[in-house]
Amino acid sequence: MTTVAGTTAIEAIADLLHRLRVHGHDADEALDRDRSRFEADAERIAK
């Protein structure tokens, strides 16, 4: 990731986590669930 792309991605993720928390969701739980989904998708694509 380039510096600009990396910074933009981090800002977007942080914004989404803040929005989740404001709306009463657990940001850590969302990250855990999303990481699991990402890993499953990555494994499926690699096959």
pTM above 0.75, yes or no: no
- pLDDT (mean) for 1-29: 93
Tokens of 40: 């499953």
Which residues touch 26 (CB under 8 Å, ≥6 apart)?
Answer: 20
Mean pLDDT of the residues in the chain: 94
CA distances from 19 to 6, 26, 31 (A): 20, 10, 13
In angstroms, what is the C-alpha Rg of the chain? 13
Token pair 């694509």: residue: 45
For residue 2, pLDDT over 90 is answered with no
Tokens of 42: 């990555």
pLDDT for the residue 1:
54
How many whole angstroms separate alpha carbon 16 and alpha carbon 23?
11
For residue 33, pLDDT over 70 is answered with yes
